[in-house]
Amino acid sequence: MKLRLTLMLMALLAGPAQAADMTAADSDLAARLQRIAAISPFADMHAHPSRFHRSELLHVEAEEIDRYLSNNVRLAVANISSDMPYTGRYTLRDGTVVPRGKYKPSPGTVFELTMDRMQRLQETFRLGLAEQGDTPLALTRTPTSLVFIPALEGGDALEGKIDNLVALHEAGLRLIQLVHFRANAIGHIQTHPYSPGGLTSFGEAVVSKSNELNIIIDLAHANDETMWDVLRLSKDPVIFSHGSVKAISDIDRAVSDDLIRAIAAGGGIIGIWPNGAVVEDIGLMVDMIEHVIKTAGIGHVGIGTDLRGVSRYATGFTPDDSFMAVARVMIERGYSDEDIARVLGGNFIRLWKTISEQTEPG
């Protein structure tokens, strides 16, 4: 959008001949963006569309889905932060607002709240607003629809029970981020309050069962020890869905070059986020994408927007002008249409297909 407005302004300030050239340039850019979009659907590796998991909404809003589709995003991972009962900031079905705080939920509460939020996604599918991402075939069932992969941000909902993972899988779960804002029965986190240690014995069981059920494993928010433990154990490729790279931004929520290479060696993907609190502008975001490309290769990087999960976005990246904005910067930096399409979705879709095409769970 910003590029289009800039071109229009330049055309008005220029003479008629120059204005015609600018219009042609704008048209050429639009055509190239459409060619990129035709190569592969774009995919958001981490999002909270409409804040469906925390708000009073009973399904994802149509306007949110339209924003995705206008940027050629056909696949989005819809995350439920299952540690909410410990930290608050969500609304119950009866309209009760649970404020931010520290809570000790009773047994079963975390699992039950998560299943309730899974029903909000199922209602989104029932209303025909989006397609359920049970397998990659969902992308071909309705080629113009948005596909949501139901996901957990934090495995707190399992409450230490593998049976809960199985039940959530039956309810549609296809991706699990093992930890979020607190250490849990699975592993430990990158951020304050820091805690030493890696994957627990239950965490090992979760990784093995997730491999068996073809559930994608997400390392985002996990500390280095937990990530290394998962990489040693998982038989499937894994992702780090949203964060920064330490070589450019040495913050807690960043991943080291050694981990980037290790994730890529197993066929996995690192997702770069546009969190304005740590990524100043879209140029820096693409710098991070380029760093992963140089460190691990073009086939191992994607985008996780953390839509509705961050307070502000990198300058130049907005919910209305997101993936197309990244595409324009990558065009300016000389990337081919094919490579841009891989970064904006092709890589993640390939990984999803790889995991889904394993032996179907019995």
In the chain, the domains with their CATH numbers are 1-39 (no CATH), 41-356 (3.20.20.140)
The pLDDT of residue 21: 54
**Which pLDDT does position 5 carry in this prediction?**
40
Identify the pLDDT of residue 360: 46
Grouped pLDDT means (10 residues each) for the chain, 362 residues: 42 47 75 92 96 91 94 96 90 88 93 96 97 96 93 98 98 98 97 93 99 98 98 99 97 98 99 96 98 99 94 92 95 98 98 82 40
Go through the chain and tell me how many residues it has: 362
How confident is the model at residue 311, as a pLDDT? 83
Helix axes 16-39, 323-332, angle to 10 degrees: 110
Q: Which residue has the tokens 């879209």?
A: 282
Report if pTM > 0.95.
no
* Interatomic CA distance for residues 158 and 155, integer angstroms: 6
Residue that has been written with the tokens 């469906």 in this structure? 52
End-to-end, the C-alpha distance of the chain in Å comes to 48
Predicted local distance difference test score (pLDDT) of residue 195: 86
> Strand 269-272 and strand 239-245: pairing?
parallel
Helix 257-265 vs helix 224-233: crossing angle, to nearest 10: 20
**What distances in angstroms separate CA 85 from CA 93, 154, 238, one per listed residue?**
14, 12, 27
Angle between helices 109-126 and 162-170 (to 10 degrees): 10
- Listed residue (351, 345, 243, 348) closest to 288, CA to CA: 243
> Within 10 Å of residue 114's Cβ, how many Cβ atoms?
28
Structure-derived torsion over alpha carbons of residues 150, 134, 324, 331, reported in degrees to the nearest 10: 120
What are the distances in angstroms from CA 338 to CA 34, 35, 129, 294? 12, 9, 29, 17
Spatial separation of the C-alpha atoms in residues 48 and 262, rounded to whole Å: 28
